[in-house]
Structure 1
Amino acid sequence: MSRIDNLVKELCPDGVDYKPLATLFDTRNGYTPRKTDAEAWSGDEVPWFRMEDIRANGGILDDSIQRISKSAVKGGRLFAADSILVATSATIGEHALIRVPHLSNQRFTCLTLKDEYRSRFDVKFLYYYCFRLDEWCKKNTTVSSFQSVDMVGFKRFRFPIPPLAVQREIVRVLDQFTQLEAELEAELEARRRQYEYYRHREMTFSGSVTRSPLGELVQVKTGAAVSKRLIQENPGPYPVINSGREPLGYIGEYNTEGNPVGITSRGAGVGSITWCEGRYYRGNLNYGVTVKDVNELDVRFLYHSLQYMQPELRALCSFQGIPALNKASLERLVIPLPDMAVQMKVVSILDKFDALVNDLNSGLPAEIAARRKQYEYYRDKLLAFPEKGAAA
């Protein structure tokens, strides 16, 4: 940081110039070839980027998941290498630096530096600065059939032009942050695979272990109706658990205490297992699963069993219309019931892995979140430049 501060003081003591996006970049809209154009989809010569590429492979890309034929290129002109794709409709707030000639779908606007400015920028500096553009885009949208960015304002968005030495030092520092995050993500993925291995090993019991229908061991009860309006009108400290793994919000009343295990009963997350300790509000898209005899079945062992049996749970669900899990079908699900000593051994092993790979308050997810917050803080600080000629 001190080196960058010194460079800024030395090379641009009076501030830096800012230029509008439309001055610096040529812009082109992405497009999707007609689905009826078989020839366009038959070849794989041209990388064709979509939001799925960013989600799967990150923000600096040199190939796409899907490719199309040269015949699909309008006017024979690809988007240039080292251009930046910015999401300007539908899913807004994402961008990517594309290192190869390419095309994209219509959800992106392609930014290509004009020739007269190529020598004045490190393209990775622009990539990092586009995180600021992402934030601007999210705050400046219009809505018709779907959300889209105010393109008049978009073209007026201004970029700083600090000296190249400053840009390169900023890129070096931010690259270190992103590399550290990538290493932590890779470690998390390795730990998840290790967790899956041990969970399979510990949850695979011999034929001599007792197995019982879930309905004989637990009571299954649907939660109460809940809505976003109810949460807004009755704020409070109690989490609302409904159709997702994370709380829908927080409310001033609770209807569940000491019954942490739940199963999503409807919606896209149907069959997923929830765990919420203490007092909370269980919504009507979540089954509460209460152990009848805690001396026979440990509640945490039940949680790990249901997590392991996700494929069987999903197989019980109906996917015609809104995905749903019928209560009677759920109660027929057969789960293992080893003796309590074995249950506690399994819980001890799997709880350690579960905390390491899933707990947002500890383990690797917490460390990654902390590093990401630190990175975003320093990124914002590094990319803030005084403007030349602006009043002090």
Structure 2
Amino acid sequence: MNKNLISLFDKAAESSEFIPKLRQLILDLAVRGKLVPQNPKDEPASELLKKIKAEKDKLVKEGKIRPEKPLPALLHDKMPYLIPGNWKWVKLGETVLQNIGGGTPSKNNSLYWDGDIPWASVKDVGKDKYLTSTQDFITKDGLKNSSSNLIPAGQLIVVTRMGLGKVSINKIDVAINQDLRALFLSSKSVLDYYYIFFLTHKFEGTGLTVKGIKQDELMAFPFPLPPLSEQKRIVAKVDELMALCDELEAANEIRDEKRKRLNWTSLKAVTDAKTPEDFKKASGFFINHLPEITVTQDHIKNLRQLILDLAVRGKLVPQDPKDEPASELLKKIKAEKDKLVKIGKIRKESNSTQIYPDVILFELPGNWQWCRLTQIANVGTGATPLTTESLYYNGEINWITSGDTGNPFITEAETKITSKAIQETNCKVYPINTLVIAMYGQGKTRGQITELKIEAATNQACAAISLYIFKDQMNQYVKYYFRKMYDEIRILAQGGAQPNLNMEKIKSTMIPLPPLAEQKRIVAKVNELMSLCDDLEKQISISSTQSTRLLNSILQGPLC
């Protein structure tokens, strides 16, 4: 085996993404004559071609196949690559005894369908090397009364339209449709070598809507024909190396699964720690094994969630007995809220904010306290001004939707509305630092939280959170808490095709409230650790890019 190729298998053992590229390299080397050594004793391809032609002429004379149409000459100075001296560039059709197309029985005649004859179309070909079953079946009448043909097992089935170039070998007798061609090969050809060839070549089709290749174009395609003995050696070596790739892939999957499990169990051990000693032990293990369990972007995502989880449980920074407890902070916030109700700036809420022991999510440090969001913040929403009213739009007031909540901060708005829209609709302008949660929206939108860095109104898909007593550390803490609760909040959503959150669910969200001084320490520590996560992500991204470039350059070497 090529020494360079041996070294590539060592590389493949280090990287799962390398294995598909290695498979392709093996196939490319195979059809270029670089996978196995040439044997000067092999009968050259030129002699093989003469024997194939003699076999075709005999079958034509016997009336078993039709004479082939003349094919255009090969331009040897325009061949895709160099091949060994005892190989020969030929037209594919020169080595094919016959190629047969197919058709589709009328869909309007139920007597033609659901019979016992497998009927192949594009969707059945190319998924696996061997075609052993089909999604559709036709009857004998369907086969008889259509242009479909029954192809005996052991032929090469090629897609010539709508998936151009896909290929399989039929292990069963199968009827085919008009988008497929069955290639019947000479007894002096190795079927699997042709299969390898089709896996390495891209066919350029024609057509405005659906690309396809005509029969004559396919038959005139340049084909690198090796001696028959070498075809057999090539196929044997490809099978051997593909089996090695399978083993490497399986080993890498086991390794990745173990790493994933280690990442998950070590994170869970930290979050589930019941005592300071357990926490110290679990977190120590995680830190000591950080390089092994944070090697992908998903691992860093899990690490971010761990940081947020520890933060809102009071496990990220130490408590200080000198801190004013959260219960006193809640009293101050309540006093401010009552004041705002009294002067008519906000409405008095009738819903209970009581939290019963059986709904508490987890145990908190002694100077923390559970509360509802509505106890510490006013929660509002917005509206969409009538889009047919031109006087509502192109004004100077920023207006955002749930689709704008994907970034940590909102610094500009694509849409502007007018003062008239504010006066005549339920839109309201919220101040800078207001937190905005998407209550519904496409994909990952629902549950996202962002922060206004501009004054802006929102549509009805957003919930706007304004603290009664604004403190930046509390604002950031609440924002981090909602980021940590993203998945849980999405589960709270209700609805059919597009599940929605609602204002009451947002308002009643339970918040684990630390003392104000500890909030400041928590936010500072979270910011510091998130910055480290950013650095780790960049390192992984850079490492991945460099590995890809290195692997691509290594892969090009054997082909040169």
TM-score norm. by structure 2 comes to: 0.38
More strand by share: 1
1:61 aligns to 2:163 (yes or no): no
Give yes or no for the alignment of 1:142 onto 2:207. yes
Q: CA deviation at 1:130?
A: 0.5
Q: How does 1:148-187 map to 2 (within 5 A)?
A: 148-180=212-244, 182=246
- In structure 2, the CA distance between the partners of 1:262 and 1:332, relative to structure 1 (3 Å rule), is closer
Aligned CA distance change for structure 1 residues 32 and 295 (closer, same or farther; 3 Å): farther
Q: Is the alpha carbon distance of 1:337 and 1:172 closer, same or farther for their aligned partners in structure 2, counting shifts above 3 Å?
A: farther
Q: 2:199 aligns with which of 108, 120, 131?
A: 131
Q: Distance in 2 between matches of 1:291 and 1:151?
A: 66
Describe the superposition over 1:180-212 as per-residue Cα deviations: whole angstroms up to 9, x where unpaired.
Answer: 5555666759959x98xx89x999xx9643999
Does residue 1:295 correspond to 2:477, yes or no? Answer: yes
Cα distance in 1 between the residues matched to 2:189 and 2:161? 29
Tell me the CA shift for residue 338 of structure 1.
8.6
Shift of 1:361: 8.7
CA contact (8 A) 2:160 2:212 kept: yes
Aligned partner of residue 32 in structure 1, secondary structure: coil
Alignment of 1:311-326 (within 5 A): 315-317=496-498
Provide the rounded CA distance (Å) in 2 between the counterparts of 1:334 and 1:92: 52
In the alignment, which of 222, 236, 244 is matched to residue 403 of structure 2? 222
Is residue 2:120 matched to residue 1:49? yes
Do the aligned partners of residues 84 and 291 (structure 1) sit closer, same or farther apart at CA in structure 2, a change above 3 Å counting? farther
Indicate the SS of the match to 2:108.
Answer: coil
Residues 118 and 174, structure 2, Cα contact 8 Å, conserved in 1: yes
Report which structure shows greater RCO (CA 8 Å, sep ≥6): 1
Name the residue aligned to 1:40: 112
- The separation in 2 between residues aligned to 1:290 and 1:97, in whole angstroms, is 61
Find the aligned partners of 1:90 and 1:148 in 2 and give their Cα distance: 7
Of 189, 195, 198, which residue of structure 2 is paired with 1:120? 189
State the 1:334 CA deviation: 6.4
Cα distance between partner residues in 1 of 2:89 and 2:462: 57
Contact 1:18 1:159 in 2 (8 A): yes
- Return the letter of the residue paired with 2:199: F
Please report how far the alpha carbon of residue 85 of structure 1 lies from its aligned counterpart in structure 2 after TM superposition.
Answer: 2.4
Instruction: Report SS of the residue matched to 2:111.
Output: helix
Range 78-87 or range 123-132, more displaced: 78-87
- Counterpart of 1:279? none
- Structure-2 change in CA distance of 1:77 and 1:302 (3 Å): same
- Once residues 19 and 169 of structure 1 are traced to their aligned partners in structure 2, the CA distance between those partners, rounded to angstroms, is 20
Deviations 1:86-129 (A, max 9, x none): 222223342222222212333x3223224xx22222x1111110
Once the two structures are overlaid, the 10-residue window that deviates more, 123-132 or 6-15, is: 6-15
Gaps of 5+ in 1: 225-260, 276-286, 318-324, 345-350, 385-392
SS of the equivalent of 2:234 reads: helix
Give, in whole Å, the separation in 2 of the partners of 1:377 and 1:290: 55
Q: How many residues align?
A: 286
Q: Residue by residue, what CA displacement relative to the aligned partner does 1:335-363 show, whole Å, maximum 9, x if unpaired?
A: 9979699xx9xxxxxx9xxx9xxx99999
Aligned amino acid, residue 21 of structure 1: L
Counterpart Cα distance in 1 of 2:158 and 2:504: 47
Post-superposition Cα deviations, 1:241-295, rounded to whole Å, max 9, x if no partner, equal xxxxxxxxxxxxxxxxxxxx999966xxx5699x9xxxxxxxxxxx999999553
CA distance in 1, matches of 2:404, 2:483: 20
**What is residue 23 of structure 1 aligned with on the other side?**
94
Change (3 A) 1:80 1:221: same
Corresponding position: 1:88 with 2:141: no
Tell whether 2:38 aligns with 1:7: yes
Equivalent pair of 1:4/1:169 in contact (CA under 8 Å): no
Report if the CA contact (8 A) 1:7-1:166 is conserved: yes
Q: Tell me, in whole angstroms, the C-alpha distance in 2 between the residues paired with 1:290 and 1:54.
A: 53
Does structure 2 conserve the Cα–Cα contact (< 8 Å) formed by 1:32 and 1:105? yes
The answer to whether the 8 A contact 1:212-1:334 is kept is: no
- Cα RMSD after superposing both structures: 5.7
The whole-number CA distance in structure 2 between the counterparts of 1:185 and 1:290 is: 49
State which drifts further: 86-95 or 170-179: 170-179
How many Å separate the matches in 1 of 2:100 and 2:199? 19
**Residues 30 and 110 of structure 1 are in contact (CA less than 8 Å); yes or no, is this contact kept in structure 2?**
yes
Residue type of the alignment partner of 1:221: S
Whether the 8 Å CA contact 1:82–1:112 is kept in 2: the answer is no
Q: Which amino acid aligns with 1:81?
A: A
Larger CA Rg, structure 1 vs 2: 2
CA distance in 2, matches of 1:40, 1:375: 54
List per-residue Cα deviations over 1:310-342 (Å, max 9, x = no partner): x9799433xxxxxxx8xxx3667969979699x
What amino acid sits opposite 1:83 in the alignment?
Q
